[in-house]
């Protein structure tokens, strides 16, 4: 990601440190306002392209402050989960790269809203989840506060949902889903391709190695049954110390054979 390093040298000083804390704090504030029956605030925050074109440009930013959950039971858990993800990504990347990842996702969501007629910040938050799962695949969370699950497995489930939505969803859902993974592939697409290429190279080298072994003469052969390492790669072979000469036997016959003695 040399282009990211170049951008960071140029624009890194403008990065907002602890960006996720500010966003989640405003999420919680909006949630508290909703508890006082101020639900009309949601209408002021939603990303509505028609109203944006009428001059309500604050909606291009305010939609990210809508809480990801309206349940008093789960709101703290959800906000803490996204706090953990956001802070971890920022510590791994630095403030500038985290800002760029988040704002790229915002821009993609806004474009999707104008194409499909509307969008929310839910998919944007899920793109953070995918990034976290890519960088920390073995991180464990307690599903339903009980069952320990590695986050990479939850990411696989989400990828299945993404693919299903892209194939069978409505146009609005398809556009929103595609927008949610733009920043993911922008940041990790190169790494994913390199992993695929490396895996293919490893498989190719493995096949070539075994093909060369199969074409060559066997190194080990049992004097009794004639089995070689080509017929059974797992078989162990040993020389018998009591035989006169270099006679090799498989595990089965090393103790069950007639010793060869010179006259």
Tell me the β-bridge partners of 143: 147
The CA distance from 111 to 151, in Å, is 29
Q: What pLDDT sits at residue 200? A: 84
Residues 26 and 127 occupy one common structural domain: yes
Q: What pLDDT sits at residue 263? A: 62
The CA distance from 82 to 64, in Å, is 13
CATH of the domain at 82: 1.20.1540.10
How many folded domains does the chain comprise?
A: 2
Least confident piece of the model among 180-184, 205-209, 215-219: 215-219
Q: What pLDDT sits at residue 26? A: 93
Say if 200 falls within a structural domain. Answer: no
Residues 233 and 191 occupy one common structural domain: no
- 3 state DSSP class of 219: coil
Question: Does the pLDDT at position 88 exceed 90?
Answer: yes
Tell me which residue range forms the domain holding 235. Answer: 219-263
The CA distance from 179 to 236, in Å, is 56
Question: Does the pLDDT at position 162 exceed 60?
Answer: yes
The separation between the first and the last C-alpha atoms of the chain, rounded to the nearest angstrom, is: 74
Q: Which residues contact 29 (CB under 8 A, 6 or more apart)?
A: 65
DSSP string, 18-42: THHHHHHHHHHHHHHHHHTT-THHH
> End of a domain among 180, 195, 210?
195
pLDDT digits (tens, 9 = 90+) for 16-52: 899 999 999 999 999 888 887 767 788 888 888 889 9
pLDDT digits (tens, 9 = 90+) for 213-257: 666 677 888 888 888 887 888 888 888 888 888 889 888 888 888
């Amino acid at each position: 990601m040399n282009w990211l390093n170049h951008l960071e040298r140029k624009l890194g000083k403008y990065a907002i440190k602890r960006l996720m804390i500010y966003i989640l704090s405003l999420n919680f504030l909006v949630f508290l306002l909703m508890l006082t029956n101020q639900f009309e605030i949601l209408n002021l925050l939603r990303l509505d392209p028609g109203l944006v074109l009428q001059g309500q440009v604050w909606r291009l930013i305010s939609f990210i402050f809508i809480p990801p959950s309206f349940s008093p039971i789960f709101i703290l858990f959800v906000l803490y989960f996204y706090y953990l993800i956001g802070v971890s990504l920022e510590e791994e990347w630095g403030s500038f790269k985290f800002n760029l990842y988040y704002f790229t996702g915002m821009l993609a969501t806004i474009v999707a809203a104008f194409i499909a007629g509307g969008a929310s910040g839910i998919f944007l938050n899920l793109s953070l989840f995918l990034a976290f799962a890519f960088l920390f695949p073995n991180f464990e969370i307690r599903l339903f506060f009980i069952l320990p699950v590695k986050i990479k497995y939850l990411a696989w489930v989400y990828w299945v949902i993404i693919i299903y939505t892209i194939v069978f969803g409505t146009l609005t859902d398809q556009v929103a889903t595609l927008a949610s993974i733009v920043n993911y592939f922008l940041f990790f697409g190169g790494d994913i391709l390199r992993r695929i290429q490396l895996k293919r190279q490893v498989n190719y080298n493995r096949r070539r190695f075994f093909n060369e072994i199969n074409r060559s003469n066997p190194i080990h052969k049992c004097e009794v049954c004639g089995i070689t390492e080509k017929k059974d790669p797992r078989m162990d072979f040993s020389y018998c110390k009591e035989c006169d000469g270099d006679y090799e036997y498989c595990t089965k016959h090393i103790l069950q054979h007639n010793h060869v003695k010179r006259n």
